[in-house]
Amino acid sequence: MNKTLTVIEATQKLEYFCSYQERCHDEVVAKLRSLGMIPEASDLIIVHLINNNFLNEERFACSFARGKHRIKSWGKIRIVNELKYRNISRFNIDKALKEISPEEYLETFHKTAESQWSLIHEKNVLKKRKKFCDYLLRKGFESQLIYEKVIELEITDFGSETEK
């Protein structure tokens, strides 16, 4: 049988929950629900977490954008969609995207694209192009960037094949 927590015990649990990793409001609300807290107690705890800087949606969005871009090589479209899914405000999403410099973004894109192109061992050029484009679209990169890159890589491939 689950022991119900006092507001103080739940607050301590949530302080720890928020301190070892940035959290968005939705994650905190879900955690409070899983602990069986009533809405009035949840509201008190959330206010406490915000006032004591354990919970900060802007900081979460910026950290999320930086991490997903640098570690998982996600593009801006995927980052925006994931933040929207977590009910992050448009203001905080825009602020988070500014955490990624245009130079860093393009460098990650080119590195990811070239790596993926070399990993696809498909003889049929159209199938290779489709696999390549689908992968980068899933990663959240802009279609214009992808199509320009696929043309560049195909020309490079074609040039290296004619030299053989």
pLDDT digits (tens, 9 = 90+) for 9-37: 999 999 999 999 999 999 999 999 999 99
Write the secondary structure of 7-49 as one string of H (helix), E (strand) and C (coil): HHHHHHHHHHHHHCCCCCHHHHHHHHHHCCCCHHHHHHHHHHH
For residue 50, is pLDDT > 80?
yes
pLDDT digits (tens, 9 = 90+) for 125-134: 899 999 999 9
Query: Half-sphere exposure (CA, 13 Å, Cβ side) for 100?
Result: 29
Domain-wise residue ranges, the chain: 7-51, 57-97, 102-163
Per-residue pLDDT at 62:
96
Q: Tell me what the pLDDT averaged over the chain comes to.
A: 92
Out of 44-53, 74-83, 152-161, pick the least confident.
152-161
For residue 158, is pLDDT > 80?
no
